[in-house]
């Protein structure tokens, strides 16, 4: 079924390219306390609702998952910004990401007249992944994205629906998999880059990638891959910012027109860190 959908989509894509239809699509990825605190969530949704044209929102919710896990007596373990996900933790993140956080966002956007649809990767077979193989670290039920249902995403956006994507995928074997939200955003952007004029914006609490984590105004205005590697080597860029930037560079190399890392308060403004090719 998935292959049939993709074949039909490829045919439609040839027609789109023939007539050179490249509408703008903005993909916003937001996480952390921004989507978990009432005031910051309301502001985010107001700003997101004002974005013109086609748009997709990808969200996290790790703090809420950690909080609920703690209440249930489960230890939360992170490695390089990635959550170790055993079976019990998978149940928690499925409830929090696919339920509480996702539906709060959808309800808030409906109140702002945005026709939003909350989805995990399992819904309408949107994003398929494979369980990460055990190497030096056993991440448990963590998924590495293998396929995005580009045709279905294109159809939803074309119908005037705004997808709200939770960081959960599936493996076509009946299993949900915890998947990094930055990866979801990047893979979604790359899958649609040949159809839309895609801008991908990673939003978090800071104004951008900082040269000094203690100075919120030390924003690096632009960053290429060589510069990124140098800053990682020096320890200036570390933790969860590393996979975020890896996804950002993969996106620009795959044809995404613009990738920006900025504060959620700066959506739509000329600010933050722009990711550029070497």
All structural domains of the chain, each given as residue ranges with its CATH number in brackets, are 23-204 (3.40.1160.10)
pLDDT for 3: 58
CA distances from 168 to 3, 61, 93, 233, 263 (A): 21, 11, 8, 31, 24
> pTM for this structure?
0.87
Find the helix or strand (DSSP H, E) in which 241 lies: helix 241-253
pLDDT for 144: 94
pLDDT means per 10 residues, the chain with 278 residues, are: 55 48 89 83 94 95 87 84 87 95 96 98 97 88 95 96 98 95 93 94 89 90 93 90 86 91 85 88
| Residue listed under structure tokens 């007596």 | 73
pLDDT for 8: 54
pLDDT for 18: 42
pLDDT for 243: 81
CA distances from 24 to 196, 199, 270, 272 (A): 6, 8, 17, 20
Name the residue among 259, 228, 252, 253 with its Cα closest to residue 241.
Answer: 228
pLDDT for 1: 55
Contacts of residue 270, defined as CB under 8 A and 6 or more positions apart, other chains included, come to none
Token pair of 14, please? 């040839």
């Amino acid at each position: 079924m998935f292959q049939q959908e993709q074949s039909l989509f490829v045919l439609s894509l040839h027609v789109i390219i023939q007539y050179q239809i490249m509408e703008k699509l903005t993909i916003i990825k937001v996480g952390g306390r921004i989507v978990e605190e009432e005031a910051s969530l309301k502001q985010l949704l107001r700003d997101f609702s004002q974005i013109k044209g086609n748009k997709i929102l990808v969200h996290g919710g790790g703090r809420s998952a950690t909080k609920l896990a703690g209440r249930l007596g489960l230890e939360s373990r992170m490695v390089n910004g990635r959550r170790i996900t055993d079976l019990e933790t998978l149940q928690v993140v499925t409830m929090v990401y696919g339920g509480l956080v996702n539906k709060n966002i959808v309800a808030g956007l409906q109140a702002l007249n945005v026709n939003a649809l909350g989805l995990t990767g399992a819904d309408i077979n949107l994003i398929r992944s494979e369980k990460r193989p055990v190497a030096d670290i056993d991440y448990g039920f963590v998924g590495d994205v293998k396929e995005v249902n580009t045709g279905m995403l294109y159809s939803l956006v074309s119908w005037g629906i705004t997808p709200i994507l939770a960081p959960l995928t599936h493996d076509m074997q009946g299993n949900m998999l915890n998947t990094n939200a930055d990866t979801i955003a990047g893979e979604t952007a790359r899958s649609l880059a040949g159809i839309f004029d895609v801008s991908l914006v990673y939003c978090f609490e800071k104004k951008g990638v900082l040269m000094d984590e203690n100075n919120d105004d030390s924003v690096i205005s632009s960053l290429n891959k060589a510069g990124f590697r140098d800053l990682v080597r020096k320890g200036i860029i570390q933790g969860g910012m590393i996979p975020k930037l890896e996804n950002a560079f993969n996106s620009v190399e795959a044809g995404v027109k613009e990738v920006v890392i900025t504060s959620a308060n700066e959506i739509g403004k000329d600010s933050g860190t722009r990711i550029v090719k070497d």
